[in-house]
Amino acid sequence: MKDWKNYVLLLCALVFVALVSCGSLVDRVTPVEKPKRSAIYVGEDPNQGWFSQWDAKEMRSDIIIQHRDINLWLLRRAEDDKYAYEDAVGFITVSIKEGKDLQDIVIGDETHPVSIFGILGPLAGGALIGKEVFKRRRDYTPHDHETAVSKAYKEGVEAGKKTAA
């Protein structure tokens, strides 16, 4: 009977030595507290029942990987935004310059005193004045013309009726 107890004792000692010397096995059975912020960061349930040292090491790896992935995503987004920003500013700058050039042609500026409005403005004013000044006395306005044509038509119709009768 003594031999049997010795063998069991030796087997228990070997199991305990194996447990103590095998770090991964010890990590799987060693309980640790699960921080809520860490669990939420990786999208796990913070109220899970059993959480071991091995689970904590796995969670730490997941946190590092997720942080790296988020930062890479943000860097890509920042780079995409930088290019979109540069394109948008470049396009609007070209539009503003084209508008300014057109404005300089039409209205003029300090460096280009000759402009379309500068040339056509006096011509338009002169044309309006000339229309009134050089108008002949017997010229008809469109309304006067229509009235005269109607009157002549009626007179022609009445004259035709008299000759026919």
pLDDT at 1 over 60: no
Residues 56 and 107 in one domain: yes
Q: End-to-end alpha-carbon separation of the chain, Å?
A: 162
Q: Provide the pLDDT for residue 111.
A: 75
Residues 77 and 123 in one domain: no
Residues 45 and 89 in one domain: yes
53-106 and 116-133 helices cross at what angle (nearest 10)?
Answer: 40
Q: Provide the pLDDT for residue 21.
A: 67
Is the pTM for the entire model greater than 0.85?
no
d(C-alpha 10, C-alpha 2), whole Å: 12
Rounded to a whole number of angstroms, the CA Rg of the chain reads 50
Residues 120 and 109 in one domain: no
- Of 20 and 4, more confident: 4
d(C-alpha 28, C-alpha 56), whole Å: 10
d(C-alpha 143, C-alpha 155), whole Å: 18
- Of 90 and 46, more confident: 90
Residues 136 and 90 in one domain: no
Look up residue 55 and give its two tokens. Answer: 């689970």
- Of 25 and 158, more confident: 158
pLDDT at 60 over 70: yes
Could you give the number of structural domains in the chain?
3
